[in-house]
């Protein structure tokens, strides 16, 4: 174990390259012969289990975890680098887990999308950004106008999804686009227009 650990957060909109960046950091740590464990919230089952997969089809084996306490239990005492993908789906206990692992000397890499489809902070990510030593916010390209995209646009049947939908919705009828602030649309609570037109 190194004398001091730290927390790194890689955050940003979907399609911004967060998983690519996680894979890059983990590969470099492995080349440097660090002992690495990669985890992922089991809520994200888009690509089948047990792998971190980036949208450009890079892949790496990952251990699936359902809660922050399970994460803490699964990290081995001699692990030097702990990476967690889709951390926005984890419970708030993940903040204490990240701090505890960094306190005992681990390099902790937390990766997740920063905002939900409404543009609100997603789960524990805001607090993780606050306690991290190092933060990288990534952007995608807005599919409407070509500017830098920072927002997750949820679409149902191709139309902007209303604000009252569930925060966590992986797969299914809806889909997501990366959009800039100006092109991001969230019909307000009670807005029925998408059902009428």
Task: In whole angstroms, give the CA distance from residue 104 to residue 20.
Answer: 27
Give the closest residue to 61 by CA, choosing from 47, 79, 75, 77: 47
Q: What order do you get walking across the sheet with 81-85 strand by strand?
A: 63-65, 36-41, 81-85, 107-113, 6-12, 134-138
Count, residues near ligand ADP per rule CB under 6 A: 15
Q: Which is nearer to ligand ADP, 54 or 80 (CB)?
A: 54
Catalytic residue among 20, 21, 51, 86: 86
Least Cα distance to 38 among 48, 51, 49, 47 occurs for 51
CA distance 43 to 175: 16
Nearer Cβ to ligand ADP (73/167): 167
Among 45, 56, 136, 164, binds ligand ADP (CB under 6 A): 56
Residue 145 interacts with, from ligand ADP, Zn ion, none (CB under 5-8 Å by kind): Zn ion
**Residues 139-158 as x/- pattern, contact with ligand ADP by CB under 6 A:** -xx-x-----x---------
Among Zn ion, ligand ADP, none, what binds residue 56 when CB lies within 5 to 8 Å by partner kind? ligand ADP
Catalytic residue status for 86:
yes
Contact by Cβ (8 Å): 66, 94: no
Q: Does 144 bind Zn ion (CB under 5 A)?
A: yes
The closest of 109, 105, 110 to 77, measured between CA atoms, is: 105
Q: Which residues bind ligand ADP (CB under 6 A)?
A: 14-20, 54-56, 140-141, 143, 149, 178
Q: List, by residue number, the catalytic residues.
A: 86
């Amino acid at each position: 174990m190194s004398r001091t650990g730290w927390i790194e957060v890689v955050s940003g909109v979907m399609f911004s390259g967060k998983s690519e960046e996680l894979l890059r950091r983990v590969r470099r740590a492995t080349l440097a012969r660090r002992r690495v464990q990669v985890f992922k919230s089991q809520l994200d089952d888009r690509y089948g289990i047990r792998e971190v997969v980036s949208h450009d089809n890079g892949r790496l084996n990952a251990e699936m975890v359902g809660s922050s306490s399970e994460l803490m239990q699964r990290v081995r005492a001699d692990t030097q680098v702990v990476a967690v993908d889709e951390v926005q789906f984890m419970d708030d206990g993940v903040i204490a887990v990240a701090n505890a692992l960094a306190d005992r000397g681990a390099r902790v890499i937390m990766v997740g999308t920063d905002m939900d489809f409404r543009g609100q902070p997603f789960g524990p990510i805001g607090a993780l950004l606050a306690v991290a030593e190092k933060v990288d916010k990534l952007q995608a390209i807005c599919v409407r106008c070509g500017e830098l995209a920072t927002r997750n646009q949820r679409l149902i049947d191709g139309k902007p999804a209303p604000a009252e939908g569930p925060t966590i919705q992986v797969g299914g009828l809806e889909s997501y686009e990366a959009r800039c602030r100006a092109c991001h649309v969230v019909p307000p609570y009670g807005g029925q227009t998408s059902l009428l037109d």
